[in-house]
Amino acid sequence: MTPSRNHTLFDQARAVIPGGVNSPVRAFGKVGGTPPFIESASGATLRDADGREYLDFVGSWGPMLLGHAHPAVIGAVVEAAQRGTSFGAPTEREVGLARRVVEMVPSIEKVRFVNSGTEATMSALRVARAATGRSGMLKYRGGYHGHADAFLVEAGSGAATLGVPDSPGVTPGTAADTRTAEYNDLDDTRRLLDDGRVACVFVEPVAGNMGCVPPAPGFLEGLRELCDATGTLLVFDEVMTGFRVAPGGAQERFGVRPDLTTLGKIVGGGLPVGAFGGRTDLMDLVAPAGPVYQAGTLSGNPLASAAGNAALAFIAEHPELYTHLEALGGQLDDGIARIRGTHGYPLTWNRVGSMASLFLTEGPVTDWPSASAGEAERFTRFFHGMLAEGIYLAPSPYEAWFLSLAHTESHMDRLLTALERTLATVFGASA
Ligand SMILES: Cc1ncc(COP(=O)(O)O)c(C=O)c1O
Ligand SMILES: N[C@H](C=O)CCC(=O)O
């Protein structure tokens, strides 16, 4: 038997990289086994080191709205690379990308580019604290805003998956400044804002890091009102939802304007980019316009700016892509409702546009307690069953599934067929 190259690479990786991966969610820690080491990707398909192909619903954890190796993005990156990969000096491309972001995202008047979503949230928090003169920050249980210390309190995504929602290494002082409320619970939020010591509320306007959990009707509007009433800034963390749930992100889709917005993933077209932006009076606090220090050797990198520009240009010129994504999502809604109706499995399907999650519980799933109510062992069997069917999902129930422009109706049929077969083994064919 030929030894699996995935296994060999994982063994080699573990010897020199903590846990063998450069971001914990990739390691299959919750579900066990060896992660496929990806050699190439095109459209909606991944190919691993053993030559096996998968239909991809991870999409690099969100950036791949246009699918892998989209020609417009690849062309722009190649062209940019030929002219130099980093200058540490301003470029026209950054201006172009900033103008696109300002045009597309309703509340952003000025934007600063960084290299990851984590940098974006950490910097936006600093601006909010400087603007308000307050230290506190409120986030939601199961919400994930990257790995800066202030946010690693009751965090979702890989932190929840690994069982370290409050990471060691975060000082008690830092953690004490972070307050946590239940997602979709305005009363809980009100109680925590009452003393006027919170600089900002950080919220994923569609939660995507406890699985996909939509905002309840009125939740985002209620947050806007509570923030206005208490002098607290409202920060939408749109690292995941930005350009995904609408061209202008969740703030466009739900019609609520935050004071600050954080972006990542799609804004970099698949290269490492993050951004934070908002009202001019707040953004002009950022150095060198103002005193709030924030910097980056590679920020505004030419390759990343080229990829981001190409992705956003394509999105702006092809708004019909959201109709395509909605149609695919609708096909899944119908298919999963049929499977549930036919077999009576306890399933909850949450979807907002092209982000979704299937929870293996009766539901409804509206917050962290309901999102985390499923049985770990059931998810493990589900995940490995789907992988054996050639369907690549996130190896954790606390992540969203992503659709891309490269997905087709027949891909949805393939996903639904795999789901029906796998769920039969998970729940027992007679359930
Ligand atoms: C909502 C949200 N905020 C922030 C982040 C942090 O982004 P990054 O992984 O690029 O640091 C992520 C993803 O990791 C995210 O989903
Ligand atoms: N859920 C995380 C971001 O959205 C997954 C990315 C990571 O932590 O590597």
pLDDT for the residue 317: 97
Residue 167 in this model has a pLDDT that exceeds 90:
no
- β-pair partners for 262: 237, 276
pTM: 0.97
Q: What is the mean pLDDT of the chain?
A: 96
The ligand 2 atom nearest the CA atom of 240: 4
Percent of the chain with pLDDT over 70: 99
Separation of CA 26 and ligand 2 centre (Å): 9
> For residue 157, which ligand has an atom nearest its CA?
2
117 C-beta closer than 6 A to ligand 1: yes
Residue-level pLDDT at 1 = 67
Q: 417 CA distance to ligand 1 centroid (A)?
A: 31
Cross-strand pairs, 276? 112, 262
pLDDT digits (tens, 9 = 90+) for 266-292: 999 999 999 999 999 999 999 999 999
Instruction: Spell out where 260-378 has E strands.
Output: 260-263, 274-278, 348-352, 355-359
Spatial separation of the C-alpha atoms in residues 203 and 196, rounded to whole Å: 18
Answer whether 146's CB lies under 8 Å from 153's CB. no
Residue 161 predicted with pLDDT over 70 = yes
Ligand 1 pocket member 264 (CB < 6 A):
yes
ipTM for the predicted complex = 0.99
For the record, the structure tokens of 259 come out as 């004071």
Q: How far is CA 187 from the centre of its chain?
A: 26
Q: pLDDT by residue (tens digit) across 174-190?
A: 999 999 999 999 999 99
Please determine, for residue 3, whether its predicted confidence score (pLDDT) is greater than 90: no
* Best residue among 64, 144, 267 to mutate for probing ligand 2, ranked by most atoms within 8 Å of CB: 144
Spatial contact of 199 and 175, defined as CB atoms under 8 Å apart: no
Q: Are 238 and 145 spatial neighbours (Cβ–Cβ below 8 Å)?
A: no
Q: Whose CA is nearest to atom 6 of ligand 2?
A: 61
Pairing of strands 136-140, 178-181: parallel
Gap between the Cα atoms of 373 and 428, Å rounded: 20
Closest residue by CA, ligand 2 atom 1: 157
Starting at the earlier edge strand, list the strands of the sheet with 355-359.
Answer: 348-352, 355-359, 401-402
* 27-57 pLDDT tens trace: 999 899 999 999 999 999 999 999 999 999 9
240 lines ligand 1 (CB under 6 A): yes
Say how far apart CA 103 and CA 248 lie, in whole Å.
Answer: 9
**Spacing, Cα 160 to ligand 2 middle (Å):** 11
Taking the centre of ligand 2 as the mean of its atom positions, its distance from the CA of residue 399, in whole angstroms, is 8
Type and span of the H or E element at 39: strand 38-42
User: Active-site residue numbers?
Assistant: 144, 237, 265
Kindly give the distance from the C-alpha atom of residue 337 to the centroid of ligand 1, in angstroms, as a whole number.
31
Q: Does the beta carbon of 242 sit less than 6 angstroms from any atom of ligand 1?
A: no
Q: Is the CB of 30 under 6 A from ligand 1?
A: no
